[in-house]
Structure 1
Amino acid sequence: MKTKLLSLSHTKRFIERYHADPNFREQVSRDPYRAIIDYNIKADPEEIKALCDTEFTKENENKFSDSTFLRNYWELAEQIRPQKIRSIANSPANSQFKAWRSRQIARTESQFLKPVCDSIIHAPVCFELNKGCSVGCWFCGVAAPRLSDIFFYTPENAQLWREVLELIKELLGEAAGAGFCYWATDPLDNPDYEKFCSDFYEVLGMFPQTTTAQPLKDPSRTRSLLKLAGEKGCPLDRFSILSLKMFNQVHEEFSAEELAFVKLALQNEGSNTTKAEAGRTRKRNLKKAEKDSKTPYQGTIACVTGFLFNMVDRSVKLISPCNASDRWPLGYIVYDEATFSDAKQLKILLERMIGDNMPLTVRQSELMSFRSDLEYESLADGFQLSTNLKTFRFRYDSYLNELGEIIHNGGKTAQEIVSIFDSRNVLPAYIFHNLNLMLEKGVLDDEPKSKLSQILVTS
């Protein structure tokens, strides 16, 4: 088993180098055998090429279709994807929260490309244990402010922390274990981060994944954290790689085996990965677009559909991913937000947020309208709503065409719409059924009508 892990970890190292380093990619195309020798990678370049070059894979499909090596590598690759975390996140105990989260997922599936959707776990909760971040990445998708305060593991804070965790467990059940302890922060800015994670594990049954841009700040601490996470069954950790120099240093400091279950998020110049158009990246590209008369592609790095806590401020927001926009420049919608003083008050706030924002069915007094990003088209037997990625069709009924027109024109509550059809002897239950179907599919506009908004993105 150890020999197999060594082999596969070196294959992973080759793939990381291939995607991070343009000079290595060029060298592999010229002389792959020399490349792996120069970089001390213990791997077969022919089999590895099948992982890097899709055209090569197609041309040699028969040669590699029975490759044990490739099957083993794909098995390892699956282990460092967030599948386990996603499956846990999919089972919130609260029925209103579960239905609301499902609607948000349905919405995002018509707004993001499939690879983006596949990477978003829609975690039900996350916690910031600092206020701001010391790293200051120019591309930060959530525009983290500068580090200004830390939630230390004092007796008072530790008690509040465990009480909050217990409350989240009571509310969400085992799904809360899919949460994590960073957002617009770097976990390793908090000297007590491991203590908070250990409490998280004790209360919620999962050791939270870590993503840090500071694995080299204190390598011995990083090793200890990875060891602790591995012992507690954490399925995934990540290092954000900010430069090719940092990439080289990480590979020098940590062996291939040490990083076998650590994903490197390649943010360095020269990598063949792209950055989401949100936060500071969006602000920078918008300025460039004004100069070049081009509109940049929008995006997000947000992966939470649920509660975002900042333990320093004792604040909580209800959020979900969206394409970054003028209103939501950080790539997530803020549905609600509040501050709390203790767990007792927090419970009241969370129950209020659920009650206000997560109806199981459409509310009779609520104005009905379609999402603003959907293109409406009337059909002879109904209507359809489309983005450039997905089309929703509501058809095969004589009343659906008019129902779609009424909602598209706006200005009517659910009860008013029902009354229009009731005067024509159409049962209210039928209209509510169709309105609830639209709610379930995530096509109805549910963005907050108040002035909830995100902070301005600063450089």
Structure 2
Amino acid sequence: MQTQKLDEQLALQLIPPLWKTRVQSTEQFGSFETIDWIDPQLLAEIGQIKRFIERWKADREFRKQVAIDPYNACVLYGLKVNPEDIRPKWDKNFASSSEEQIAEQFPLLKLFDQFYDQHLERAVDVGIPISSSANSHFWAWRERQIARVGSQVKAYVHREISHFTNAFELSKGCSVGCRFCGVAAPRLNDIFIYNPENAKLWREVLENMTSILGSAFQGSFCYWATDPFDNPDYEKFCADYYAITKVFPQTTTAQALKNPERTRAFLEFSKKKNSLFNRFSILSLKMFEQIHQEFSPEELLTVKLVLLNDEAEDIKAHTGRQRERNLQEGIADKELPDQGTIACVSGFLFNMVERSVKLISPCNANERWPLGYIVYDQGTFTNADELNNLIERMIRDNMPLTVRPYDLMRFREDLKYENLSDGFQLANKVKTFKFVNDPYWSDLGKMIYEGNKTAEQITQLLAAQGVLSDQTSYYLNVLFERGVLDSEPKP
């Protein structure tokens, strides 16, 4: 799209004035069950700001035009927003400004950010209320996984990983076939149809998992290496999930345009069930344009556009099929890739077609884990009772609350060990751990670094040096909880 210099006053006549005075306090976004009560005009204007930011992130040409003439760019692209009201979103000169400075100079932008911060916080709170998990073993295991991942991936990636507790595939494979698919989804070849037999099994699975995990099970969603809209009965499965858990699962689809009326109806359906967050994957700039044409800013107000088109600012994660492409082009695995995983589950991955379960958690993709997640355990089931036994066995085998006597003690391979005078340290490019101020830390570190002794053997060796077994147990469990011990399953 070609631009011509547009007079600022003319541009402002074409851009409707934005809301500035009706709400006296930003505190009104502090608590809400739905967004229905908020001033519709304010929501419309928030939607226009969101649309500008989406265009900015998705479209390289638009970014160039905004840098030259922001008013003209807004008019030409049909964006009903004054770019001066949101300058920090596109002007790099504001990168070093504090939140307080921006809030003072750009009150509308403060409201926009507050709306989405609190809206998404509530979405996360609704989606993963796991602090009251009924299963302490699962809770402790998940906390260790979060600690591990936090010291293996870049900070911005870690902030984006929600560590949902479960994911359900309601088909086998995916019809979309993205060339950069981070989990290398196979071609669609089977669907878990909502017939009487499958519906009964589905509800029993949900009830069993709720019984085992308690509120932690609410942090689940119904896709993985699949697209939800490949399943013609997806809405029915979501309705059952809501009926049993009282939470509506978050949805991400790359097929929002396949049947726009179905998509529109689903968004309305999820809204009525108090869903606060859905996502559309955007695979090309053309698709982005079509999404903006098909759906209004208000309809997309609580839909995040995941911008995967080539013109977008976001990078493609080095995992799955994108990793395969990178390797072919000579881009090897690195200790710290910009983003090495799109996995967001530390828990159970189900495929309802295969009736299979895997216990997984994110990691940077590598030769052993090319899909960006570790598989700690797996199994199959034919009915709800078998599933119950399988999940309980996985928890028993993989989720101890403390180090077990027969566990082989060794540090994670990505951590470099260094002996210190009063202890030791472990480090990689993300984080450095220091265990110091006690001479016994040094001896303990050396034994674990050798990687050939169990917890019981280390306890016995330190006992010969006068270290009480309780003290050794405490040291080992500090390391265990910090996630620095190697917990990957044997090949």
- TM-score, normalised with respect to structure 2: 0.89
The answer to whether the 8 A contact 1:20-1:268 is kept is: yes
The residue that corresponds to 1:37 in the other structure is: 75
Is 1:421 the counterpart of 2:462 in the alignment?
Answer: yes
**Aligned pair partner of 1:368 in 390, 405, 409:** 409
Is 1:206 the counterpart of 2:244 in the alignment?
Answer: no
The answer to whether the 8 A contact 1:104-1:305 is kept is: yes
Cα distance 1:91–1:295, how it changes in 2: closer, same or farther (>3 A)?
closer
**Aligned pair partner of 2:111 in 66, 72, 94:** 72
The residue that corresponds to 2:91 in the other structure is: 53
The answer to whether the 8 A contact 1:239-1:264 is kept is: yes
The answer to whether the 8 A contact 1:365-1:414 is kept is: yes
**Aligned pair partner of 2:330 in 271, 279, 289:** 289
The answer to whether the 8 A contact 2:128-2:218 is kept is: no
Look up the equivalent residue of 1:13 and give its one-letter code.
R
- Find the aligned partners of 2:96 and 2:448 in 1 and give their Cα distance: 49
The residue that corresponds to 1:457 in the other structure is: none
Q: Deviations over 1:74-127 (max 9, x none)?
A: 023222465325652454320000000000000001011111111111011110
Q: Deviations over 1:40-63 (max 9, x none)?
A: 111110122212224236579857
The residue that corresponds to 2:270 in the other structure is: 229
Cα distance 1:433–1:238, how it changes in 2: closer, same or farther (>3 A)?
same
- Find the aligned partners of 2:218 and 2:422 in 1 and give their Cα distance: 46
Moved more, 189-198 or 33-42: 33-42
The residue that corresponds to 1:356 in the other structure is: 397
- Percent identity over paired residues: 53
The residue that corresponds to 2:233 in the other structure is: 192
Deviation of 1:176 after TM superposition, in Å, equals 1.1
The residue that corresponds to 2:487 in the other structure is: 446
Look up the equivalent residue of 2:77 and give its one-letter code.
Y
Look up the equivalent residue of 2:441 and give its one-letter code.
L
The residue that corresponds to 1:322 in the other structure is: 363
Q: Which runs of 5+ in 2 are unaligned?
A: 1-38
The residue that corresponds to 1:456 in the other structure is: none
Deviation of 1:262 after TM superposition, in Å, equals 0.2
Q: Deviations over 1:143-182 (max 9, x none)?
A: 0000000000000000000000001111111121110000
Is 1:22 the counterpart of 2:60 in the alignment?
Answer: yes
* Structure 2 counterparts to residues 5-154 of structure 1, below 5 A: 5-56=43-94, 58=96, 62=101, 65-78=104-117, 79-80=119-120, 83-85=124-126, 87-154=128-195
The answer to whether the 8 A contact 1:186-1:213 is kept is: yes
The residue that corresponds to 2:3 in the other structure is: none
The residue that corresponds to 1:300 in the other structure is: 341
The residue that corresponds to 2:451 in the other structure is: 410
The residue that corresponds to 2:27 in the other structure is: none
- Find the aligned partners of 2:418 and 2:397 in 1 and give their Cα distance: 31
Look up the equivalent residue of 2:125 and give its one-letter code.
K
The answer to whether the 8 A contact 1:285-1:296 is kept is: no
Look up the equivalent residue of 2:94 and give its one-letter code.
F
Cα distance 1:328–1:28, how it changes in 2: closer, same or farther (>3 A)?
same
> RMSD over aligned Cα, in angstroms?
1.9
| 3-state SS, counterpart of residue 221 of structure 2 | coil
The answer to whether the 8 A contact 2:335-2:414 is kept is: no
- Find the aligned partners of 2:111 and 2:305 in 1 and give their Cα distance: 20
| 3-state SS, counterpart of residue 24 of structure 1 | helix
| 3-state SS, counterpart of residue 330 of structure 2 | helix
- Find the aligned partners of 2:430 and 2:448 in 1 and give their Cα distance: 22
Cα distance 1:445–1:294, how it changes in 2: closer, same or farther (>3 A)?
closer
- TM-score, normalised with respect to structure 1: 0.95
Runs of 4 or more above 4 Å deviation? 57-64, 293-298
Cα distance 1:379–1:21, how it changes in 2: closer, same or farther (>3 A)?
same
**Aligned pair partner of 1:310 in 334, 348, 351:** 351
| 3-state SS, counterpart of residue 193 of structure 2 | coil
Is 1:4 the counterpart of 2:45 in the alignment?
Answer: no
Q: Deviations over 1:293-328 (max 9, x none)?
A: 999656000000000000000000000000000000
- Find the aligned partners of 2:245 and 2:395 in 1 and give their Cα distance: 21
Deviation of 1:290 after TM superposition, in Å, equals 5.8
| 3-state SS, counterpart of residue 413 of structure 2 | coil
Look up the equivalent residue of 1:77 and give its one-letter code.
Y
The answer to whether the 8 A contact 2:129-2:219 is kept is: yes
The answer to whether the 8 A contact 2:138-2:399 is kept is: yes
- Find the aligned partners of 2:479 and 2:50 in 1 and give their Cα distance: 44
**Aligned pair partner of 2:440 in 394, 399, 406:** 399
Is 1:278 the counterpart of 2:316 in the alignment?
Answer: no
The answer to whether the 8 A contact 1:286-1:296 is kept is: no
Q: Deviations over 1:187-220 (max 9, x none)?
A: 0000000000000001011100110000000000
Q: Which runs of 5+ in 1 are unaligned?
A: 452-459
The answer to whether the 8 A contact 1:89-1:122 is kept is: no
- Find the aligned partners of 1:27 and 1:94 in 2 and give their Cα distance: 54
- Find the aligned partners of 1:100 and 1:21 in 2 and give their Cα distance: 41
- Find the aligned partners of 1:56 and 1:64 in 2 and give their Cα distance: 12
Deviation of 1:439 after TM superposition, in Å, equals 0.3
Cα distance 1:411–1:189, how it changes in 2: closer, same or farther (>3 A)?
same
- Find the aligned partners of 1:343 and 1:265 in 2 and give their Cα distance: 35
Look up the equivalent residue of 2:49 and give its one-letter code.
T
| 3-state SS, counterpart of residue 165 of structure 2 | strand
